[in-house]
Amino acid sequence: MTFNLRNQNRARLLISCLDRPGIVSAVSTFLAENHANIVQSDQYTTDPQGGMFYMRVEFDLINFDEDFEKIKQSFIEIAEQFSMEWNFSSVKKIKRMAIFVSKEDHCLQDLLWKWQSEEILVDVAMVISNHNDLRDAVESYGLPFYHIPVTKESKFEAENAAIQLIKENNIDFIVLARYMQILSANFVEQFPKKIINIHHSFLPAFIGANPYQKAFDRGVKLIGATAHFVTNDLDEGPIIEQDVLRVNHRYTPEQLKIAGRNVERIALARAVAWFTEDKVLVHGNKTIVFS
């Protein structure tokens, strides 16, 4: 799919390092000296006294194809001076996403619609499922669908098959759009900070099975959803986005589930969009999400 990009000459720079005086000045001066026009700059410090410093800069280059690689190489000196973790990305380089799904299609369909309508600029490279139920829906978009069944006995082989597909297709990140399998530590370690999951409750509330029945029994007044990075700690990875919808005592468990599906779609789509736009940085078990 070819996207209609408005900013062909735009790039982004993400930085994280220990906070100290002079970082913003050094970065801004470097970009100016390399004929870059800063269009947006955001920074955040966890603690002014020895905390971590995070920065996101968007900038334009008139001679993008000639200057972008030069800037990346030239920046190494400043990065070493401040002991930075850093990354340059081009807006023209659309991230490649793999979607994992089981039988429920609401998050999948929402992501595919937003991809097709260019609300989220991402390259949906493939959909992988442990069931065949959604094959026709996926293939109607012209996308590859891979059915990889998972049983207790075949889990190791199934995950290895998925890992091979992901690596062969140069996938940048994975989205679990209601994929009802717990990923092994081996799988998660292959893609650190590159797996986004949607959890069907407002974490840490109602973890585990039957969350909407639990919510109904508790008499909740808000139904929520949490999009987070996957780690080896089940449903406890860094949170990217959360949202809620107001409900009341008249809602049945089924109506709560419908409300939950709506908020799941919203939270997951936002998290995916922010990730593709390089707006998310991880700090310990938290995230910094730049607006």
For 96-289, which CATH class? alpha beta
Q: Which residues pair with 57 in a beta bridge?
A: 13, 41
pTM of the model: 0.92
For 10-90, which CATH class? alpha beta
Residue ranges of the chain that CATH labels 3.30.70.260: 10-90
Instruction: Reply yes or no on whether 172 is catalytic.
Output: no
**pLDDT, tens digit only, all 291 positions of the chain:** 666 667 889 999 999 999 999 999 999 999 999 999 999 999 999 988 879 999 999 999 999 999 999 999 999 999 999 999 999 999 999 999 999 999 999 999 999 999 999 999 999 999 999 999 999 999 999 999 999 999 999 999 999 999 999 999 999 999 999 999 999 999 999 999 999 999 877 656 776 667 788 888 889 898 889 999 999 887 789 999 999 999 999 999 999 989 999 999 999 999 999 999 999 999 989 999 998
Residue ranges of the chain that CATH labels 3.40.50.170: 96-289
- Residues 67, 235, 243, 278: which is the catalytic one? 235
